Each structure stands twice: as C-alpha cells, then as structure tokens.
Amino acid sequence: MTDLTKLTIAQARDAMRKGDTSSAEVTAACLTAIEDAGALNAFVHKTPEIATKQAAAADARIKAGDAPAMCGIPLGIKDLFCTKGVPSQAASGILEGFKPEYESTVTSQLFDAGAVMLGKLNMDEFAMGSSNETSVYGDAVNPWKVDDRKLTPGGSSGGSASAVAADLCLAATGTDTGGSIRQPAAFTGITGLKPTYGRVSRWGVVAFASSLDQAGPMTKDVRDAAIMLQSMCGHDPKDSTSADLAVPDFEAALTGDIKGKVIGIPKEYRMDAMPAEIAKLWEDGTAMLKDAGAVIKDISLPHTKYALPAYYVIAPAEASSNLARYDGVRFGHRAKLDAGDGITEMYEKTRAEGFGHEVQRRVMVGTYVLSAGFYDAYYNRARRVRALIKRDFDNVFADGVDAILTPATPSAAFGLGEMTDADPIQMYLNDVFTVTVNLAGLPGIAVPTGTDASGLPLGLQLIGRPWEEADLLNVAYSLEQSAGFVAKPNKWW
Amino acid sequence: MSIDTETARRVAKLARIKVEDDALPALAAEFSAILGFIEQLNEVDVEGVEPMTSVTPQRLKRREDVVTDGDQQEAVLKNAPDAREGFFAVPKVVE
C-alpha cells in the first residue's frame, strides 16, 4: 500500500484488520513524514520510541482479534494534554522541562484502546490565541499556501490542524474553549468536533477556563471524528463535571439520512460586512441540507452579539484563577532571584519570565474583573448574559430545531504576522461564530465544504443539542457527502 | 472605562506579574481597549437572571469521605524547581 499517512482512521482500521498493512508500517510512515515536515513546526516533542513500542503492541492485539477501532492508529497529541514522562508544556515557557508523573484521562483512554502517540503538537500558549502565534515553540504553519506568504493554521489547536491536514498523523487531539478546535479545522480543511461540555473528561488537561474547556477529535473526515470521539469520552470520577451518561455508538449513527431534520439558520450570524464568499458558502450548505431532505427554519438567537464580550470576561477570570498555580514552587520555571528577594519577588519574576504577553494580558484582565468592586459589574454580569445566551439555544431547541448551521470562521486563513499590530479585539473576532457554543456548553463541529477564490479551505459549523453528538455527526456526515470536499494542500514543506 | 497606569500597576501586583514602570502605559491602554469592548454587556437587560454557575443542570456526584490517593511524595516533588528533604523549598518567608 502506498501513502499510508493519507489513510483515514476507518481505512487504516479496516486495512490493519485485513492484514493489508500494520500499525508498525503506518506509524513508521508517519514518523518519516514528521521528520520531513519541520517547516510546519507542528510536532514540537517527538516520541518515536513510544510510538514504535505502542505500534508493536497494537499489531499483536489486532492479530489476536477483537481489537478496538482506534487500535494501532497513530495520533498527534496537543501539548495541553499531560502525558506521563513526556514534556507537556501547554506551549508555555513557564512549564519548561515539566514531565508529568501521570497521564490525562483522554490519552489514557486512547492508549487503552491501542492508539499510538507520535508526539506532542504545537498550540497557542495555554490555548490562548487564534493563530498559533503565542506559542513558546514559535508559529505552527498551515500546510495550505496560495502565494509566498506563510499562513496561520488557526489556533489554539494549530499544530493539531496542521499535522492532520499535512498527513503527518491520521488524527489528533484538540481542545476548544472558544473555538480552538473548530476554527483551526476550518482554516486547514479538516473536521473538528467540540463535544458537549462534560462529555469528555478534563482531568490531566492543562486548564484554561474550566467551565468552557472541552477536548475533542480533529480528523480527516466525519466518520473518523465519530470513531475517535468514542474512545475519548465517557464518565470519569476524577472530573466532577464529567457526565455519567451512556455513550452511544457514534459511528453507527452515520446513516446520512437527515430527512425531516429541522436545521436552524440564525439571522444574528449574518454579520455586517460578512465576506461574500462566506455568505455563499453558508447559502450553499443550507441548500445541500435542504436537498438532502432537511427542513430549513429561520431562527433568532438574540444575545449572539454579547457572546464575545461575555467570553472575554469569563475566560480570563477563570484563567487568572487557574494559572495562579504557576508560581515557581511545584513545577516548571522559577526565576533566578537577586539577593534579598523574597517569595513575592519570586512569584512576580517567575510569572513575568514564564508567561508570554497574551497570557499575561488575559491573567491581568481576569484579575481585574474579579477584583473587589468590579466583580458584580463585570464577572457576575457576564455570567448573567451567559445564562441568556444559553436560554436562546434552549428556546430554539424546544421549538423543534435539531441542529443549527453557521459559518465556522469569518474568513479563510490569514498570513502569519498579519495581525501582530492589530488591536487584540480584532484577533478575538475570529471566534465570533464558535464562542456561543462554549458558553452554552453545546456540541459543535466544523466541516470543510468549499474554498475561497484563492483556493483556501472554508468550513461550516453545525451546532447540536446537548448530548446529541450522534445526531449532530449524522447531519455533518450528510453535509460532508453533499459538499464532497476532497482538496488537499500541495506539499511545499 | 479608561484604566490609568496606577490601576494597571495595582492589577499587575494582584496578579503577581512583574511589569516594569515603562511598560505600564501600554498595558493600561490595552486594558482600556478590552474593557471598552466588554462594556457592551451593560446594554443587556439582566434583571432577574441568575448568574450561571453550571452550564449543564447536573448535581455534583458525592462519594464516601475516605482517602483514595496519596503516599506519592517522590512523584509530587519530581518536577519541583527546588525540593529538599521531602519538601518544596522557597525563599525565606518568616524572619
């Protein structure tokens, strides 16, 4: 078999079970591809020894029969996941040298299912960013290119998106606090799913904003997202917010039959100055679902406009609390101290040296909105608005809407460095279509459905009812079949 | 709302992040821009709306109040920048 790295999870699973290839072969092909792809800066810690060992074990298990679907599948793991004995830095200088003594629940479950870890993937520092430009490892680069410019793969899961799009791994883990799986997936022409809040355990995932963070799969197609999600989710006693609910068979739900499903089109997502290409992509997607037998319904989510400002209170507030643990005492970086420096200087110097600019800014904004005198005006008000945003969704779902279709991003991938001088709010606008989903705790999926005039991929987002990822994946599967997006980046790296 | 350099200095102190004096004006300007963006929330009528505490209406699970973990001193100290005699070491706190 040729081009083993181009296989989807489903294809590799079936080929391995038939004996047409082995995990050892696919893993070796991925490791070679990773060695050749330094220019993408996607893999930042490579683990070939672990991968080779896991692949051999997976092959033995497949041969013995009855191996799970993820058995032998080589994956990239976002640097936000703690992996035992392997650097896990959240792309931050403050976690330089940190090697966890434990394994995150998500990676434990994937490894128990026989998945293979190729290494750790680049990302924005502490998942704060939309372009992978805040990473201590430097920028990850989008494998898509239409001129001399190097483009962002999006963020925060930029390394994950770049690696999957460039066929360096069969799939990757991502995390999503405001759009960090779906926006990079859309920028790189892959599929990215953020599950319902509580579907996937957060234990062992470096915390950014705990009430918003969810891990999910980033894959080459919708079927793979269903297969990989199956292994990632489930109740975990170590995460008190993880849901003790039965996990359905997601792949079995992919019938492609969406006749009679009601798809909501929210008018508030038709932003002023929406590029014509994005508007057309959205109209085309709507027509595809209608042709497949869905009922299209215009809906209103009146508080949409307030989602980004609410997010930029809640997420920094939670981050300022979560990141208080980086104090130079228990793990990671500690600043060199001058004579006479006490513990306060140790904290202040350590955090100034260890955190990058965007992280410092968000920690301080969070500190401000939580400080005495402002807590009610900012933090409590944002939490009230969050309740209203969720109520908007509750209302349309109660009215019979099964899923909501929106654009995934306001544009195609932009050039690295192009937003450097922009006001931070301009960068935050990347999350305008995705952030509502985190605030409401809903499942959302980005599916590539077209390209812009220059040939860069564009994606649409589908938003589902809570806990109904199976149904959501099926609508996404239908959209994927109709769109027939098969373009791949030309190899330049 | 406009943030002055004194407020920026106070926030940096509260956050335990050292910011040099000459960086404070730029920081204050960034805070002002972000807070200006956040001020939109004042347009929303939130009368009678409870602040959200949990996005999913679930009751946290309870378990027996027993020790389920521990006895891992070595693992806990493994990543410490300075660990001595089974403890985390820090600069002198008490004179």
Separation of alpha carbons A157 and A161, rounded Å: 6
CATH number of A4-260: 3.90.1300.10
User: Among A462, A402, A475, which Cα is nearest to A433's?
Assistant: A462
A408-427: b (≥16 Cβ within 10 Å) or e = bbbbbbbebeebeeeebeeb
Stretch 209-238 of chain A: residues touching chain B, C-beta under 8 Å? 211, 237
A390/B52 touch (CB, cutoff 8 Å), yes or no: yes
User: Nearest residue of A to residue B20 by CA position?
Assistant: A352
Contacts of A489 (CB under 8 A, 6+ apart): A142, A143, A144, A145, A165, A166, A188, A189
Lowest-confidence region among A154-168, A246-260, B15-29, B47-61 = B47-61
Mean pLDDT over the full length of chain A: 97
Mutate to test the interface with A, among B2, B16, B30, B46 (most CBs of A within 10 A): B16
Active site residues of A: 78, 156, 180
Lowest-confidence region among A199-208, A247-256, A269-278 = A269-278
Cβ contacts (< 8 Å) between B46 and chain A: which residues?
A: 381, 384-385, 388
User: Among B48, B51, B55, which Cα is nearest to A383's?
Assistant: B51
Domain-by-domain residue ranges, chain B?
5-42
User: Mean pLDDT over residues B60-64, rounded?
Assistant: 86
Separation in Å, CA of A305 to nearest CA in chain B:
9
What pLDDT does residue A2 have?
A: 63
A364 contacts B12 by C-beta, under 8 angstroms:
yes
Rg (CA), chain B: 23
What pLDDT does residue A457 have?
A: 98
User: Mean pLDDT over residues A427-451, rounded?
Assistant: 95
| B95 has a pLDDT exceeding 80 | no
What pLDDT does residue B94 have?
A: 78
DSSP string, A144-210: --SSSSPBP--SSSHHHHHHHHTTSSSEEEEEESSSTTHHHHHHHT-EEEEPPTTSS--TTBPPS-T
CB proximity B14 to A under 8 Å: yes
| B93 has a pLDDT exceeding 90 | no
CB proximity B12 to A under 8 Å: yes
Q: Where residue B59 falls among pLDDT bands split at 50, 70, 90?
A: confident
A383/B52 touch (CB, cutoff 8 Å), yes or no: yes
Mutate to test the interface with A, among B44, B74, B90 (most CBs of A within 10 A): B44
CB proximity B91 to A under 8 Å: yes
What pLDDT does residue A271 have?
A: 84
Cβ contacts (< 8 Å) between B88 and chain A: which residues?
A: 329-330
What pLDDT does residue B1 have?
A: 63
Cis bond upstream, residue A131 (ω within 30): no
CB proximity A357 to B under 8 Å: no
B61/A237 touch (CB, cutoff 8 Å), yes or no: yes
Stretch 33-52 of chain B: residues touching chain A, C-beta under 8 Å? 33-35, 37-44, 46, 49-52
| B89 has a pLDDT exceeding 80 | yes
User: Nearest residue of A to residue B89 by CA position?
Assistant: A329
User: Mean pLDDT over residues A353-376, rounded?
Assistant: 95
What pLDDT does residue A106 have?
A: 98
Domain-by-domain residue ranges, chain A?
4-260
Separation in Å, CA of A60 to nearest CA in chain B:
32
A436 contacts A389 by C-beta, under 8 angstroms:
yes
